[in-house]
Amino acid sequence: MWLIDRIAEARITEARERGEFDDLPGEGRPLDLEEDALVPEELRAAYRMLKNAGYLPPALALRREIADVHALLAAAQTDEARARCGKRLNYLLARLGTQRGSESSPLLEAGYLEKLRARLGPDAGPA
């Protein structure tokens, strides 16, 4: 058992003995543990802590940013704003393609991503 698990269990036991869990909403109902079903047991506590802290894995953060930019593109009022959002969206989609590791992706060719960044401009993404 990991040290953090031992500390957590000890604190839970102390709180239970003090009665801090009495009369809580949802008492007596089963917990929904399906969310963590695919996470290895030894990583679940760490994943839960990161999730509660608002941390997103890079792949999910990128997908969230893509969704945000897509919404901005749909709401854009001017051609300039649409063009800027379109460039950013294309850049983010290209990054997502490289993270997936698709061997058929032209982004894996040497220099292609740099050429894409140069063409799309500084607003497209980090250099």
Average pLDDT, the chain: 79
- The total of structural domains in the chain comes to 2
Over residues 5-30, the mean pLDDT reads: 88
Full-model pTM: 0.44
In a domain, 4, yes or no: yes
DSSP code string of 92-103: HHHHHHHHHT-T
Q: Determine the Cα–Cα distance for residues 67 and 107; give it in Å rounded to an integer.
A: 21
Q: Each residue of 48-72: pLDDT tens digit? A: 888 888 887 777 788 888 889 988 9
Q: Each residue of 43-53: pLDDT tens digit? A: 888 888 888 88
Domain identity same for 70 and 118: yes
Its domain, for residue 6, covers 1-19+41-55
Domain identity same for 51 and 94: no
CB neighbours of residue 2 within 10 Å? 10
Domain identity same for 47 and 13: yes
